[in-house]
Amino acid sequence: MKFLSILIITAGVFFFGACSPSTAVIDETPIEVQPDRTTSGSKVVRRGLTHFNRQIIDTHKRLYGMSCIPSSAEMVLKLLGRVPVSYYDLQTQWKNKSDGSFKDFDGKTVAGVTFHQQFVLARDENYPLAKLFETIHSELVAGRFVIVGLAVSEDWHEWVIYDEDLAGEFLAVSKGAGGTTDECHVKRLITQTKGTDIGTYQLQVYEPTKD
């Protein structure tokens, strides 16, 4: 299998890669971009706004059919280095709870990360989409991931927004039975459903656990 090597010549400059397996490298070292693993075959250039580690996401597992909400929180905790990759406490407690939402994590502090649910509003013509998108953008620029509920193929699922492409579209990952799933059209999906809620967080002083 051939890989495409690309040299990033300026710190903070964007790189080209596949939506599904791309890895952020913001320095002057060559990087290798793997062929896209998604059925769409789409490729993106992402800005590298966060310290995203795809290997952590690929290693993570969704343990139960209904545990995508705690799974998304675990992914954020792992990406932040607050818990080891073997951490699955939130999913183990949740199991297949079918009547939960991210409200269950609103104000909850785990490993020094306090989660907050935002934009819990009616999804209609009055939903403040521009304000939502501005908030997500601000979080990413600050280096923070954003948890979001998206309706993909008419099925609501929890995702972690980890970056933007050059056009300002949000890029997200999630976990399913088949492994890591990517979504490169987050704004479009949110617009189609006339809004959604998001999960943000604040960091507290905490000594991370080593795996």
What residue segments make up the domains of the chain, in order of their start? Answer: 1-46, 59-203
- CATH for 59-203 is 3.90.70
Residue 211 confidence (pLDDT): 54
Residue 30 confidence (pLDDT): 31
- Residue of 44 and 89 predicted with greater confidence: 89
**Lowest-pLDDT range of 4-18, 79-93, 176-190:** 4-18
Q: Which residue has the tokens 């976990």?
A: 175
Distance of CA 121 to the CA centre of its chain: 21
- On the question of pLDDT at 143 being above 90, the answer is yes
**Lowest-pLDDT range of 18-32, 84-98, 99-113, 157-171:** 18-32
What pTM value is reported for the model?
A: 0.80
Say how far apart CA 171 and CA 204 lie, in whole Å: 26
Distance of CA 98 to the CA centre of its chain: 22
List pLDDT tens digits, range 164-209: 999 999 999 999 888 999 999 999 999 999 999 999 999 998 776 5
